[in-house]
Amino acid sequence: MKNEITLQTRREFLRTTVLGSALSWTVPAFLADTFAALQGEAADSSTQIVTGKDATILVVLQMAGGNDGLNTVVPYSNDFYHNARPKIGLSADKILKLNDDIAFHGAMGGFKNLYDSGNLAVVQGVGYPNPNRSHFRSTEIWQTASDSDKIEKYGWLGRYFDNACNGADPAVGVVIGNQLPESFFAAQPKGICFDNPQNYRFMANNAATEESYKKLNELEMSSPLPDGGPAMTSDDNANSGSSIGMLPAGMPMQGGRAIDFITRTALDAQQSSDEVRNIAARVQNQATYPVSPLGNSLKLVAKLIGGGLPTRIYYVSQGGYDTHSNQLGTQNRLLQDLGDSMKSFVEDMKAQGNMQRVLVMTFSEFGRRVNENANGGTDHGAAGPMFIVGNKVKAGLLGRYPSLAPQDLFQGDIKYNVDFRSVYASVLESWLKTKSAPILGKQFDPLQIV
């Protein structure tokens, strides 16, 4: 049956709980999903309930720019390594040995500490077939989990939200920063973004202004819609219909009106800002973090976790890894910051009693060329290591270190041993407890990480 309903305001809409599950595109996805969930129509077994108190949490940490894996997880006893890197190869006094062959970069005391306490897994030689050496294309491949010759519209985390987080509010995904990463692009966009919770609100000088702001940013349910009004039928579903409902978050506009995208973002902002700000003001960190953008980001994530924001995915990033010249100093500073920030975050999680619930996964779009260049740097390469931090990780070195023998290289780059999507598959299945194949497009053998 078809009901024609015209609602004047969002509040009125929220009060009207007798709606069918199918809502037109002007309704933000999470509202549509919430009603669907309330009605029990989305009580699919794969739907995840998020309470903010007990669900597992994934923190994705992007090392942007292409981190030089060889000088991060160092094959220090390998002659090929030292031959290829006469200037920037790390000598015995600049590393932290893990065994007779492999060592961490000397600045990674924080990681060494986590490794020794059984909280860190190092996945060696991660990459994908036919590696692309463009920052932007390779980042896109990692963010969308696509094959290197295919373009995917949506991100892997976006597809996780689409597949497994029906009914969740927009804060199910939180990005610390002011841009949504491509991995969040989704058919039903979710995820909020901020870097400074203090400013994450509409600042009004008085109540009347605040009230007017809310009215001006309400959904215009009274305006005529392309199909003549919000048709509420119970046999449609929320993501059918107009292409505008499919507009991915942050994605360049391809059809659809910019204004619809902004209107939905405005509502998400209104919905989430009070809670985020309250938590950030209330929760205290229980560890001291390095003073750096990454340190600040993880500090904020810790607060939000401590405050029980109903979030499954946090996303933070650290830039600067594109070391074409004078790599030693730059990478030293970055890895120091990374290790120290991570160590503080783990301490904080342990003090909160939330360490059981949290898994951190790092990635970088590619490793770098085995041979150093003439400027004390390295050019774009292929495979590199990933780090997984958590209480329940299979701690230690996972996978094999790729061979550095010249005959085993492809165009001067090491070959991957582990497809990054096997790591994603494991995170999805063992940690987020959802089927990976619908999200990754096919079944990858999950690498046992957790």
Partner 1 sequence: MLNPLSSSQWNYAMAAHLLNRAGFGGSPADIEKLADLDHDQAVSSLLDYENIYDPTPNPVWATPDPDRLTKLRADIKAATPADAKQLQQQENRMQAEHLNELRGWWFNRMANGPRPFQEKMVLFWHGHFATSIEKVRGTPNSTYLMWRQNELFRRLATDNWLRLLIETGKDPAMLIYLDQALSQKEHPNENFAREVMELFSLGEGHYTEHDITEAARALTGWSYDRLNQKFIYRPGIHDDGTKTVLGLTGNLEGEDFLAQIVKQPQAARFITAKLWNYFSGQFPSDELNTALAEVFRYNGNDFKPFLRVMFRCEEFYGDDIVRNEVKSPVQWLVGSARMLESELPPPFICNAITTSLGQTLFAPPSVKGWDGGTAWITTNTLLDRYNDAVTLVMGTAQQLTASDFALKQGGAGGQKLARLAQRIQVGGVKVEKILTPEERADKDSIVASLQHRLFQTVLDTSQQEALREFLDSKQQLSDADILTTIRLMMSTPEYQVT
List contacts with partner 1 (CB under 8 A): 8-9, 132-137, 170, 175, 178-180, 192-196, 198-203, 205, 208-209, 212-213, 215-218, 220, 222-223, 247, 249-255, 257-259, 261-263, 265-266, 268-269, 272-273, 291-293, 324-325, 371-375, 377, 379-380, 411
Name the token pair of 292: 């750096």
Nearer to partner 1, 96 or 251 (CB): 251
Q: How near is the Cβ of 213 to partner 1 at its closest, in Å?
A: 5
Nearer to partner 1, 326 or 356 (CB): 326
Neighbours of 278 (CB within 10 A): 13
Look at strands 57-63 and 2-4 and give their pairing: unpaired
Nearer to partner 1, 3 or 222 (CB): 222
Q: How near is the Cβ of 294 to partner 1 at its closest, in Å?
A: 10
| Residue 386 phi, psi dihedral angles, 5° rounding | -120, 150
Q: How near is the Cβ of 372 to partner 1 at its closest, in Å?
A: 8
Q: How near is the Cβ of 64 to partner 1 at its closest, in Å?
A: 8
Nearer to partner 1, 266 or 351 (CB): 266
Q: How near is the Cβ of 395 to partner 1 at its closest, in Å?
A: 32
Tokens 């003001």 identify what position? 281
Q: How near is the Cβ of 288 to partner 1 at its closest, in Å?
A: 15
User: How far apart are alpha carbons 354 and 346 in whole angstroms?
Assistant: 9
CA nearest 381: which of 398, 356, 404?
404
Q: How near is the Cβ of 348 to partner 1 at its closest, in Å?
A: 19
Nearer to partner 1, 256 or 441 (CB): 256
Nearer to partner 1, 300 or 428 (CB): 300
Nearer to partner 1, 381 or 390 (CB): 381
